[in-house]
Each structure stands twice: as C-alpha cells, then as structure tokens.
Amino acid sequence: MFLAQSFVFSLLAITGLALPSNEGVKHNNMARSTKYAPKEPPLTTPWTDKVGTKPWPEYPRPLLQRSDWKNLNGIWKYQNASDLNAVDSPPFGKDLAQEVLIPSCIESGLSGIQTDWGLYSWFSTSFDVSSEWKNDKVLLNFGAVDYEATVFVNGQKAGFHRGGYYRFALDVTEHVKFDQSNELLVFVHDPTDDGDYVIPIGKQTLRPSHIFYTPCSGIWQSVWLEAAPTNYITQLDLDANMDGQVNVTVHSSANGTSAQAKVTVHKDGKTVATHEGPTNKPFQFTVSSPKLWSPDSPNLYNVTVSLDKDEVESYIGFRTISRGVIDGVERPLLNGEFIFMFGTLDQGYWPDGLYTPPNHEAMVYDLKVLKDLGFNMVRKHIKVETDLFYRACDEIGLLVIQDMPSLRPLQSVLPDAKQQAEFARQLDVLVNQFKSYPSIAIWVIYNEGWGQITDTYPEFELTDRVRQLDPTRLVDSTTGWVDHGAGDFSDNHHYANPQCGTPFYSTASSPYDPSRIGFQGEFGGIGNNVSIEHLWNNQAAIDTINQTYEIDTTIEAWNYRSHLLLGELEDQIRLFACSGGVWTQTTDVEGEVNGLITYDRRVSRVDEKQWKADIQALYDAAAARSSNSTRDSL
C-alpha cells in the first residue's frame, strides 16, 4: 500500500501532472462532508466551549463601517490539496471532504481540522445576495488569509491576495446572482517556512520549538459581504492631533478628486464639526478644544463620512505622538509630554485558536489584565491582529507598539532581492491599513535582526518609507541587536535584567546611543512551570521548557524576581536615559512558561499588589525626569 502510493506520487512528479485535489469527491458526488466538531486541543481556555458555530459576529472593520453587510463566518467546507497546481482545477460544485469553522487556523482545535499539514487547502461555502442589493456594488471582504488566497465566485476567478495579515476586498458584483445560492471557493497556499520560502511569518514555523510556535494557515479572520454604491469609500486615512487638527484622506473607488466627501465629527450625540473636502487627497479641518486621547483618558469621537450615496461610520482620537529633548534626554512624547511607555510582549496566541482568539471577550480579556495592572502599552509582537483588537486598545487606553511580522528568524535564511521587495511591500500595507488607529504609537521594522540583511542596511530606506507613509508615529527600526543607527530608538533586548538607556550593555545589544530614545524592547522572560493542567500538552513543547532564561520553582520566587527586575528598570529610569520597557510576556505560549498568566488564561502568576506598586514606581520615576526644571543628575 505504502509502496504503491509512493510509486503513484513519483510517477506524477515525473510526468508533471497535478494530483486532482478533488479526486476523492469526483467519483462520489453525493459524499457528505465530515460534520464539524472542534478537535480537542492540547490545552483549552475558558472560552473554548463558547465559540459555537457562528463565531465573530461583530462588524469586523470599525474604522470603516457600513450598515448593509452580511457575515459569512460559520461552518464552511475544507479539503487538503496536494500542491500549487491544484489551483488550476478548482473543485467547482463538489462537496469538500470536511466541515471547518471559519474563521480559524486549520492547525487549531477550534477549526475542527487540527492538521499539521496546512500548505495547500480548498475552502468553500455558499451565500445568498438579496436583490435589494441589485443596484449596488457587492463587495466580498476577508479580514486576513494566511498566506495566499485565490478566490472563485460561481466558477469564475474573482481575485488573488498575498500576505497573511491584511484585509482585502473584492468587487464581486459581476460574478454574483441575486436571490440564488452563490458558490464561494478559496484556494489557500501557506508555505510558512517550507523550503526556500522567506515570507513574513512572525513566530510561525512548520517545526515548532520553544519560542517558535505552531503555524496558522487559512482564513483566520472574518469574511463578510457588503453593499456599496457605485462610487464608494475604499479607505479612510484619519489623524487627529492635540491641537484639534483633523487630517483626512477619503479614498474612493473612482479615483478622481472632483467628488466632495463630507466629514462630521460627533461626541456624545452632538455634532462638533462638519467639513467638506476632495476625495483621494488629504484635507484638514479643526475641532476646537477637543478632549484629548491618552491611556488615562481614552476619549474617542465618532465620525461619519459620506460621499455621493455612500455613508460610513468611523472614529478618531485626538493625540500627538512625537519626540523631544527633556533635560538633555531624548524622550517619546504624548501630547507634548514625556510618556514612559510600559507594556508587555504580546504574542496573540491561543491554545484553542492559535492566531484566532476564541472570541472577542477572550481577546479583550488579555488587554484588561494588562490595563488593570497599570500597563499603558502593549507591544504587538511580530503579528498583526484583527481590526477589533486595535479598536479595543483605543477604547481601553493602551498604546500599541506594532511590529512588522518578521521573516525567518536569526540570519539563517535571509531574503533574496525579490523576497525583500515583498517584505517592503507588505510593510507599506501594514502601515497604510492600520495607521488610523489612535492607539498605535510606534512602528517596528525589524526584531532582533530576523531576516535583516546586514551588508546594505535596508532599515534606513524602510524607515524613510514608513515616515513618508505615516509622519505621525515614531519608528523603532531595529528592536534588539542589529542596530546601525536608524530610526528613533536605541532599543536594547536583554534577559532577564534590563539595560535601558544605560552606560553598560551586553555583547548582543549595541551600547546606548544618546542621540535617540533609550528603550528596553524586551526583558524579564522569567518562567515558572505551574503544572501539567496548564501546559500546552505536547511532549516536544514540554521538552523545551528548560530553555527558558530562568525558571523559578515557586510563584513566590517568580514574584520576588519580578520585583527585583522591575526595581532595576526603575533605577535605570532614575539614573540613566530609560524611556520605556517591554516585559516578556503577557501569557505563556506553547513551550514558553514565562507569562504573567498561563497559556490557558486560567492561572495568574502575578502578585497584583506588588506588581501595581512596582509599575506605578516606574511612572513616578519617569515623572521626576519629565520637566526641564529637574536637574539632570547623570
């Protein structure tokens, strides 16, 4: 059996024939797909059982909301495909082998598949479009598909998208039939770190071990349809600053600038400003004495934008992120004042859903844990979240340091010219899609040299590019290690103790450069092995726990060590030029047991009273260095 099968495979390889992806179904058209049921993941969360079959009912795009929409999340069908050629023979009209939950990563228990082979996949569903939308454009939206998606509607190719973390919309008007069932078929190719592929993957790997985790493949964010008029708003770029100036670009499907867009700003049901401007180029207006946005008072204003017959809802927060010298030290400023940013390294991984949080409540739970302890920031680590995550940060009041998802780790496999160009293109997409969230304060380009070409210093050109696309944020060009002087930060990574803006440093991180902002992009990372009930129960992962920087055998010891490390950071704020820090990390993940809370979100290691006091002490130390009148004691 095994031999015969290998023989068939090698024959196909020789003749270059594609294995028909729908072979099993072809001869048995009436075959029913295996019913959806979640698979038991190696660890569950309090939300695993609450997911159900209608996940993520929320409108997925809070910065550009349309009222006429239809959620396509739910039970779809899935089938493994053999290779890239499968896309040339789509299984139109066929029942795929298994039911699958959308959105999900097909490697996750919640998907109902939990495969370890997510390279090539077919997904299908059917949907109705009401004839009420007959005079409209019908837009098919995907929150994110990892990594490449080829979309077919009613047997015709409707579009292709590359990039695992980004939203895309396809105008499928010409492909749909009204008041009838429409077939949606999606081919997904996700190489992760297979073969020669060097693509943005963050922490995903086909060979999970310790700090690298199970990959996510497929349609891992919401899918929805919406109706829009012929000339419709495709994107809104919004920035609102501490002086009340609002800078808006209303992008429209018709690219001309002649049509006028109307912007109305509301607060608590009252209109505070109305302005008209051209489409597809920036225009400005002012709101007088707005309530500013900050982590302590996350004031948001609702915005309505209309263009011809289109009308969308959005929002803004008035704040200014900048950089300034205070008492001789380079500092990040929020609304003109030094803000000491203190957050966690936040991986955004879930034992039941991997990249896809089980639900909105679960996603917000992590953020509330941080907010309650007094963190004012979260470093979204080499992953991009759903839009609803950033909306939650805007509402709760947590600044976001947003990392670009890294290419392959270390400098083991560097990108060639084409792969580097694709990395740069996706960095553009990241900044353009997410730059209107008020909470995002800093863009990170490279993490610890991963995928960073070192002979030509590409971080300088990429930094200029990010600043051109978004002049309102700071850029942390290289967080940790391979620093050649680009960007706004001199960012050290060191475990377990910090070396923030200090005259001492480690061989891996460059010495503090006083011409930029001194920052501790990662420290802490101390672990504690709670018990098997709260571990990712996978022997290979458990066998890597001993690679953690430091294991404290009791939770009391872990808190004692945390106290010392936070105290060191406080000293560095007081004595040197430390402007912010990132504690590793929010939760345990797979073989890492160094979270504030366990991977299942059921155990907190944190002595809350002690941590709250230690975090407050950081802000107090920073406040004492926050004005030009304080003596610089260095």
Ligand X SMILES: *[C@@H]1O[C@H](CO)[C@@H](O)[C@H](O)[C@H]1NC(C)=O
Applying CB under 6 A, which residues contact ligand X?
80, 82, 115, 117, 237, 239, 247, 249, 253-255, 266-268, 282, 284, 300-302, 324-326, 471, 529, 531-532, 535, 542-543, 545-546, 551, 628
DSSP notation for 349-406 = -BTTTBTS-SSHHHHHHHHHHHHHHT--EEEE-S----HHHHHHHHHHT-EEEEEPPP
Query: Between residues 300 and 575, which has the closer beta carbon with respect to ligand X?
Result: 300
- Rounded least distance, CB 558 to ligand X, Å: 13
Q: How far apart are the C-alpha atoms of 385 and 347, rounded to whole Å?
A: 10
CB of 271 to ligand X, least distance (A): 10
Cβ proximity to ligand X, 472 vs 610, nearer residue = 472
Is 621 strand, coil or helix? helix
Nearest-angstrom CA–CA distance, 498 and 572:
8
- Which CB sits closer to ligand X, 302 or 538? 302
- CA atoms of 282 and 43, how far apart (whole Å): 48
DSSP assignments along 431-462, one per residue: HHHHTT-TTEEEEEEEETTTT--SSS-HHHHH
Angle at 254 between CA 250 and CA 255, to 5 degrees: 70
- Taking the least distance from each CB to ligand X, the nearer of 265 and 453 is 265
Phi, psi angles (nearest 5°) of residue 618: -65, -45
* Shorter beta-carbon distance to ligand X: residue 370 or 621: 621
Cα separation, 367 vs 348, whole angstroms? 11
Nearer to ligand X, 439 or 509 (CB): 439
Residue closer to ligand X (CB basis): 116 or 372: 116
Q: How far apart are CA 479 and CA 491, in angstroms?
A: 5
User: Minimal distance in Å, beta carbon 505 to ligand X?
Assistant: 26
Tell the smallest beta-carbon distance from residue 593 to ligand X (Å): 7
* Distance in Å, CB of 142 to ligand X, minimum: 18
Q: What per-residue string of b and e applies to 413-428 under the rule 16 or more CB within 10 Å gives b? A: ebbeeebbebbbebbe
Minimum CB distance to ligand X, residue 178 (Å): 23
User: Omega before 496 cis (within 30°)?
Assistant: yes
Name the 3-class secondary structure at 540: helix
Task: Describe the chain by its helix, strand, coil percentages, rounded to 5.
Answer: 20, 30, 45
Instruction: Indicate the residue among 186 and 482 with the shorter CB distance to ligand X.
Output: 186
Complex with ligand X: residue 189 or 383, whichever CB lies closer: 189
Measured CA distances, 582 to 347, 425, 508, 585 (Å): 12, 28, 17, 8
Q: Write the DSSP symbol of residue 439.
A: T
630, β-bridge pairs = none
Asked if residue 255 lies in contact with residue 292, where contact means CB atoms within 8 angstroms, the answer is no
Cβ closer to ligand X: 298 or 501?
Answer: 298
Q: Are residues 277 and 248 in contact, defined by beta-carbon separation less than 8 angstroms?
A: yes
Instruction: Please state the closest distance from residue 571 (CB atom) to ligand X, in A.
Output: 24
- Smallest gap from Cβ 612 to ligand X, in A, equals 28
Smallest separation (angstroms) from ligand X to the CB of 158: 15
- In angstroms, give the least distance from the CB of 267 to ligand X: 5
Residues 6+ apart with CB under 8 A from 425: none
